[in-house]
Structure 1
Amino acid sequence: MIEGIFIEGLIFSIMALGILISFRLLNLADLTCDGSVSTGAAVAAIMIVNGVAIPVAMLFAFLAGVLCGLCTAAIHNHLRIPGLLAGILTMTMLYSINLRILGNKANLPLIKVDTLYKVWPKMMSFLSPEVASLIGTLILIIVLKIILDLFFHSDLGISLGAMGGNEQVVISLGMSPSTLKYVGIGLSNGLIALSGALLAQYQGFADTSLGTGMVVQGLAAIMLGEFIFNTNKISLITLRVILGSIIYKALMYFGRKYGHYVGITPNDFKLLTGLLVIISLVIASTRQRASEENARKKALLRIKEDN
């Protein structure tokens, strides 16, 4: 039980990290996520079923997600279509593409083939399958987090982080906002597709409706993480996204297990997730206003002291 919560939370955190890039760093409402997570699952599943090595299938799932993001960025940059609508258009088109990838089937089982969640228990046979799967997933997440942290400490990563705050700063540094959007949205959806590839292997099937509502869930995980601690360091920001994802999955698990005691059913989860995001946004906005007011009062007090 506990292992399953952590495994699902860690897999989910990869998608939340992708959503973090688009919504927090780029300040772009990108809904491509709902389609690209299914694309990653579909690409990985069809390649694994056809005998392709799992690492290669995972790489191609990531690259497929990058292509999804590049498509959204191209629609946004070159056709001058707002980012929100560009993401919706790509997400809509991806439904048909994902069906094509899966051979015009809505679902592809992975029961009869080896996946990471069958390989890891074999590699660590001295452990229980659940613990072995958890350790394998944790190692993968740690490696991915280190790579992301290193990327965001590079010149390109720093420029990407500044993009959402003030686009003029990026222009003054000689960087193209359009290019950074390609990089950011591509990387975002690559991570999201990678999460889908892992999720398909963990669940034992790929499904074209796998990504339904994932954007809101990812936002909920990000905001839960933001309640843990405030920071501007990218290494801690990525850490709290991972922790927030685990907390979110734990809440969903306990809601399914014990929710009936207070009249909550699985049908209510999307409503509750939406309300959680709204409440989180209101609290974050209130905190920001309070922080700004406090800073203003301190500035006025210093001015009075100087005089």
Structure 2
Amino acid sequence: MFETFLDFLMPFSGAMLGAVSQGVLWGIMALGVYITFKILDFADMTVDGSFALGGCICALFVMRGMNPLLAVLAATAAGSIAGLITGFLATKFKIPGILAGILVQLALYSINLHILGGPNQSLGRAPCTIMDWISRTFKLAEAFPFSASSVSSFITGIIFTAAVIAILYWFFGTEIGSAIRSTGDNAAMSRAQGINTDSMQILALMIANALVAMSGSLVMQQQRFGDVSMGIGAIVIGLASIIIGEVIFGKRFGFWWSLLAVIFGSVIYRLIIALVLQLGMKSQDLKLLSAVVLAVALAVPVIKQKAVRYRKNFAEENNA
């Protein structure tokens, strides 16, 4: 009986571990979305394109024998250039931010096709990825014979996520980082204080899309497959991660906690997806599920406010 239960549970535990590792890697992308949507208050639609850009560039360089870590750095730099172009269009040519992002996103689709030389590229038996190196270094195949790839992806995600959060926490405490936050809060007041808000917007978009591309390169190495369409829906995933993190974990301990909550939100989102798939939902319905999860996450704060208001009015009526 117990062995039967374990056999039933094994696919779920493996899927959950894989979902956690994916959630951490995708969480870096969600941090990039957090910078634009929450800190800068800029609706950046470049994300879908810059995520795929990071994956495609990383796939190209790894296939050509480049060190996988250097390939991630190259992908990150390419993502910052995508953010630079979006920021330039929005600030210098006064194109609405959401439209500027869409234009760059569309352009990146064709660029990614040229980078890969086609719609997709499998690494196959190509030189090792970061996950392969970690797996060999710590002999994960011996310790975790059935989930070594998920464990190595999780370790990789933890290392990169910890480094990114530490750097972001330090950076947004500096004068330039504070200027970016001020620009997002009140651009007119920031200009009155002598802050070049155009430069701050461009810099924030560069940092955000650099993180998105970094996430795309790591996800590509995890799945060993680069695809020009791998970023479709990334903006929805990023927003869902942010909202889920805020709803569940809130803003309790300062800026570092808000950043960490985004990662937790990404992991929870991936766990929800994995659980639903294990219960029999078809993969073709994932986009629909993502939209429903995001809609519910966005509705929860409003429902909470209405519930508090209702309880307050009810208490006042009873005390009257």
If the length of structure 1 is used for normalisation, what is the TM-score? 0.88
TM alignment of 1:130-149, pairs within 5 A: 130-149=150-169
CA–CA separation in structure 1 for the residues paired with 2:53 and 2:152? 27
Q: Report what 2:256 is aligned to.
A: 235
2:299 to 272, 276, 282: 282
SS at match of 2:185: coil
Aligned to 1:16, which of 30, 41, 48?
30
1:246-283 CA deviation, whole Å, 9 max, x = no partner? Answer: 0000000001111x3xxx43232212222322333233
Bigger shift: 144-153 or 81-90? 144-153
Identity of aligned residues (%): 33
In structure 1, the residue matched to 2:5 is: none
Q: Alignment partner of 1:108: what SS?
A: strand
Most deviating of 29-38 and 274-283: 274-283
Aligned to 2:87: 73
- The 5 A counterparts of 1:26-105 are 26-103=40-117, 105=118
Residue 144 of structure 1 deviates from its aligned partner by: 1.6
CA distance in 2, matches of 1:99, 1:156: 36
Distance (whole Å) between structure 2 residues aligned to residue 12 and residue 118 of structure 1: 19
Q: Which residue of the other structure, out of 94, 102, 111, is the alignment partner of 2:124?
A: 111
- CA distance in 2: counterparts of 1:38 and 1:106, whole angstroms: 11
Q: Corresponding residue for 2:317?
A: none
The letter for the 2-side match of 1:249 is R
1:255 aligns with 2:269: no
- Would the aligned equivalents of 2:37 and 2:44 in 1 still touch at CA under 8 Å? yes
Offset, 1:50: 0.8
Structure 2 counterpart SS, 1:206: strand
1:212 alignment partner in structure 2 = 232
Letter in 2 for 1:279: V
Q: Which amino acid aligns with 2:125?
A: K
- Measured against aligned partners, the alpha-carbon deviations of 1:106-143 in whole angstroms (never above 9, x if no partner) come to 11111212111211101111543243432232122111
Q: Residue 175 of structure 1: SS of its match in structure 2?
A: coil
Residue 192 of structure 1 corresponds to: 212
Task: Sort the Cα spacing of 1:276 and 1:136 in 2 relative to 1 into closer, same or farther, 3 A.
Answer: closer
Q: TM-score, normalised by structure 2?
A: 0.85
Task: Rate the CA distance shift 1:157–1:277 in 2: closer, same or farther, 3 A.
Answer: same
Equivalent pair of 2:250/2:261 in contact (CA under 8 Å): no
In 1, Cα distance between equivalents of 2:291 and 2:75:
29
What are structure 2's unaligned runs of at least 5 residues? 1-13, 312-320
Q: What is the alpha-carbon distance in structure 2 between the residues aligned to residue 86 and residue 291 of structure 1?
A: 39
Aligned-residue offset at 1:84: 0.5
- Matched with 2:173 is 153
Counterpart code for 1:42: C
Equivalent residue number for residue 5 of structure 1: 19
Per the TM alignment, residue 34 of structure 1 is displaced from its structure 2 partner at its CA by: 0.5
Q: How far did 1:286 drift? A: 5.4
After superposition, the CA RMSD in angstroms is 2.0
Distance 1:280 1:133, change over 3 A: closer
Return the offset for 1:285: 4.3
SS of match in other structure, 1:164? helix
State the alpha-carbon separation in 2 of the partners of residues 85 and 132 from structure 1. Answer: 39
Partner of 2:7: none
Q: Displacement, 1:218?
A: 1.0
Write the distance in 2 (CA, Å) between the matches of 1:272 and 1:138. 27
Judge conservation of contact 2:22–2:153 (CA < 8 Å) in 1: no
Instruction: Provide the rounded CA distance (Å) in 1 between the counterparts of 2:239 and 2:215.
Output: 15
Deviation above 6 Å: which 4+ runs of structure 1?
288-294
